[in-house]
Amino acid sequence: MMTQEQPVSEDDKCTKTEGWDHDDTGKRIEKRVTPNGTYYNELIVNVFCQVCGAEFIGPSREAGGFIGGHECLHAWEFGQAMSRDDGLTE
Ligand SMILES: [Zn+2]
């Protein structure tokens, strides 16, 4: 039985604060200090953009920003393409 109370084992800890790669995916960063705040116990995740295939490995918070940023960009690109198709430009 898995419990939520299990302590994080040494193997699951990541002491890196930058430069994460595939080997770090699934580990936790115990503490990460940034200009915006201090993050504790963040999971390192591996995500990618389904539209353009870009990949990101890093803290959950940044992964969310990566996905959101790509979504926003591709939505904008899509909007641009649609308006061209409508013949509204030129
Ligand atoms: Zn993308």
Cα(71)–Cα(52) distance, integer angstroms: 10
**Containing structural domain, residue 49:** 13-85
Is residue 59, in this structure, part of any structural domain at all?
A: yes
pTM of the model: 0.76
Pairing status of strand 37-48 against strand 28-34: antiparallel
Residues paired with residue 47 on neighbouring β-strands, in sequence order: 56
Is residue 51, in this structure, part of any structural domain at all?
A: yes
Is residue 36, in this structure, part of any structural domain at all?
A: yes
Is residue 4, in this structure, part of any structural domain at all?
A: no
The rounded Å distance from CA 53 to ligand 1 centre is: 6
The rounded Å distance from CA 56 to ligand 1 centre is: 11
Q: How many distinct structural domains can be found in the chain?
A: 1
To the nearest whole percent, how much of the chain has pLDDT over 90? 74
Is residue 7, in this structure, part of any structural domain at all?
A: no
- pLDDT tens-digit readout, 70-85: 999 999 999 999 887 7
Residue 49 predicted with pLDDT over 60:
yes
Structure-block tokens of residue 29:
């960063």
Report residues near ion ligand 1: CB below 5 Å: 49, 51-52, 54, 70
The pLDDT value recorded for residue 11 is 73
Cα(83)–Cα(18) distance, integer angstroms: 40
The rounded Å distance from CA 81 to ligand 1 centre is: 15
Is residue 56, in this structure, part of any structural domain at all?
A: yes
Average pLDDT over residues 15-19: 91
